[in-house]
Amino acid sequence: MNANTPRPHPADTDRSTSELLSATARDLPSGRHEFHKERLMAQIHDLQRDERTATPAPGRKRRLRLPRPAVTLPLTAVAVAAAVVAGVWQNGGGAGVRDSGVATGPALTTKIGTATTKGMPQLLDRISLAAADTSHPDVAPGQFIYIESKSADSFIKTVGDKSSLASHALHTRQVWESADGTEGWLIDPSVNDSPEGETLSLPDEQGNTPEATLNAPSFDYLAKLTTDPDELLAKIYKETEGMGNTPDQQAFTTIGDLLGESYPPADLYPALFKAAAKIPGVVVVDDAVDAAGRHGIAVARLDETSGEREEWIFDRKTHVFLGERTVQVRKGTGTDALITPGTVTYTSAIMKRAVVDEMKQTPSQTG
């Protein structure tokens, strides 16, 4: 799920941050620019990648890590991130300093698990069957999807003329969204200045309500998608054309986004796994750990361009989706060489996913 944004030219930071933020606000619907900021701050190293080409795409409303978001970001958002990053790190940022409400520390690392194609089709078949058997109530009008997760990430930190690896600490994120995607709320210390969070409701300040897409889906949108795996995968390839590093990696990333901070309807959920089984290069990693420390088996794919492997982690016995992570498995060049193999560039864990009756209500508060 990489943003694939180009490295900002130093001249881009000459404009004031306020001017850049103003430009971004005009380009993105209300609430969406905060997600872009979240993604960009969470994945600062993506901005430092050389030789990348940016293809402007519609704003996403989901965790634009977005590791990772699989979609490229508006150029104004890239410029804003460059200014923000310069202000944070070149003013003495370092371990223990809080950035966007999340403490920073040393890079996250892991043992790189062995990948194999052996047993991959069978594993995805079992995951599909488990998904079909899972209780998955529909979302009625007036109800909200609630997703609580934990996440953390590693990135390249630059102070003066020195760069090093650092991480944003593990933190909790809570999101509420209506079935049609027009009402929502977010509580995330990496995005929100206030512990109470902020609204994500539409329409935006211009009175526009953006249409849902694969990269910014609502429950109602997902409910209308085909459940035929071949047709579904063809739609994913078509709608994500030109995004990401390769069509296959982008298709894998798009499905991964839907498994995380999304709520696929009961019929669509198993179809996503069947579609993933048809993507070339998908492998099994026997042991992977989510952000909550839970071990499981992973369905994964290596991005040949970035050298990162995206891993979807499932419970080994129940095959329930636990979370995901992105692990650097090949050493990069230039500044990216700092991101050594074994670095966890992003990790998340789904802690709760439920349907609730009111905005900001949690499952424990339901009657």
- What is d(CA 19, CA 28) in angstroms, rounded to the nearest whole number? 15
pLDDT of residue 51: 31
Structure tokens at 26: 């005009």
Q: What pLDDT, on the 0 to 100 scale, is given for residue 88?
A: 36
In angstroms, the CA 202 to CA 246 distance is 32
More confident residue, 322 or 210: 322
Which ranges in 61-152 belong to alpha helices (H)? 75-89, 120-133
Q: Is the pTM above the cut of 0.85?
A: no
Strand partners, 213: 216
> Among 30-39, 99-108, 305-314, 315-324, which is the least confidently predicted range?
30-39
CB contact at 8 A, 256 and 350: no
Query: Looking at residue 52, what is its pLDDT?
Result: 30
What percent of the chain has pLDDT above 90?
60
- Alpha-carbon gap, residue 54 to 33, rounded angstroms: 17
Query: What pLDDT is attached to residue 224?
Result: 96
- Angle, alpha carbons 184-185-188 (nearest 5°): 140
Contact of 321 with 160, CB cutoff 8 Å? no
| 117-126, 128-137, 324-333: the lowest-pLDDT one | 128-137
State pLDDT tens for residues 154-188.
999 999 989 999 999 999 999 999 999 999 999 99
Inform me whether the pLDDT recorded for 65 exceeds 50.
Answer: no
Q: Check residues 34 and 259 and name the one with the higher pLDDT.
A: 259
Q: What is the mean pLDDT of the chain?
A: 78
What does the pLDDT look like over 283-302, one tens digit per residue?
999 999 999 999 999 999 99
CA distance linking residue 20 with residue 338, whole number of Å: 29
